[in-house]
Chains A and B, each alone.
Chain A
Amino acid sequence: MKLMIVDDSNIIRSRISRIMADPKLPLIEIIGTAANGTDAFALFTQERPELVTMDLTMPEMDGVECTTLLVEFNPDVKILIVSALSDKATAIEALKNGASGFLYKPFTDEELVNALLELIKE
């Protein structure tokens, strides 16, 4: 399954890549990372990942706007929002716009793996 990682933080993109590259995990191929919604959409249309981790607070195009675009392009894509924004309204807005799940920062390695595996199972 192809995974794209979207976050404006270098260390978060790197951390998610490292966690998901664990050979013990089901076959997930990381097709690339993006630091904002604009670059993410360009990469998405080119590489067609089935799975995306998406930050919300990003420059240029935020995560909710980008989620809406990705779902318009491919309604079957599974998008896990990975964000520190912990108010209910933000989670509801993201889910309304097509996100499949929400993981709050800070997260542990296990929480990320479990959240992505849940999405794959659905």
Chain B
Amino acid sequence: MSDLSEKDIEIFIEAIGGYFKQITKEAASVGVAYLAKNAFPMNDYTGMIKVSADYEGTLYFSAPSAMLRHLLTVMKEPNQSDENLLDAVGEIANTISGNARKYFGENMVISIPEKIAHLPENLDHQARPYAYVIIIKWKHYSASLIVDISRIR
């Protein structure tokens, strides 16, 4: 098992920045990644993608409901039900992990998204003692991308 490198983490930072720029036509401010052991910055809705094969762990994208409603408004989506807010975090997590495969390759197998409301701030079955946390600020909202992934081969 080995840690992801700084360059590896940069891939996720670029992917989330690229997502907001492409969808909203407005750049998000994506912070430098920091390491956390617990008390992760979870928001109202969280999308999770499990990775396997040469990697293990989970990617989390967590956002407040107001930010997701604003994003859906920008996307001209009138249905802003809880179901669609959950769908949005799942789709964003899926897009970030899928885009990251351009760099990591097909041996980072990704799951279909799991979507959860009000995930606790401590993670179950953490793959790494410390996970990377990346804070994304868009308009006046703040979301988080948590990279709890290790390379195992």
- Determine which of A11, A59, A87 lies in contact with B91 in the assembled complex, contact meaning CB atoms within 8 Å: A11
A15 within 8 Å of B (CB atoms) = yes
Query: How many A-B pairs with Cβ below 8 Å?
Result: 64
Chain B residue, CB-CB nearest to A59? B112
> Known: A12-B91, A108-B22. Is A84-B75 also a contact (CB below 8 A)?
no
| Chain B residues within 8 Å of A83, by CB | 98
Which residues of A in the span 1-26 have a Cβ within 8 Å of any Cβ on B? 8-12, 14-15, 18
- Determine which of B79, B84, B112 lies in contact with A8 in the assembled complex, contact meaning CB atoms within 8 Å: B112
Contact check, A86 vs B75: say whether CB atoms are below 8 A apart. Answer: no
Count contacts on B: residues with CB < 8 A to the other chain.
29
- Determine which of A10, A12, A57 lies in contact with B112 in the assembled complex, contact meaning CB atoms within 8 Å: A57
Contact check, B101 vs A87: say whether CB atoms are below 8 A apart. Answer: yes
- Determine which of B79, B88, B98, B104 lies in contact with A105 in the assembled complex, contact meaning CB atoms within 8 Å: B98
Query: Once bound together, how far apart are the Cα atoms of A86 and B105, in whole Å?
Result: 8
Contact check, B84 vs A11: say whether CB atoms are below 8 A apart. Answer: yes
Contact check, B94 vs A11: say whether CB atoms are below 8 A apart. Answer: no
Of A12, A14, A87, most B-chain CB atoms within 10 Å? A87
Interface size class of A (residues with CB under 8 A): 20 to 34
> Known: A11-B72, A108-B22. Is A57-B91 also a contact (CB below 8 A)?
no
B130 within 8 Å of A (CB atoms) = no
- Determine which of A14, A84, A108 lies in contact with B79 in the assembled complex, contact meaning CB atoms within 8 Å: A14
> Known: A9-B91, A10-B83, A11-B72. Is A106-B105 also a contact (CB below 8 A)?
no
Q: Return the 8 tightest CB-CB contacts between A and B, nearest first.
A: A84-B98, A86-B102, A84-B95, A87-B101, A89-B106, A106-B22, A9-B91, A85-B98
Residues of A within 8 A of B (CB): 8-12, 14-15, 18, 57-59, 83-87, 89-90, 104-108
5 extra interchain contacts, Cβ-Cβ under 8 A, other than A9-B90, A10-B83, A86-B98? Answer: A14-B77, A85-B110, A87-B105, A104-B99, A107-B22
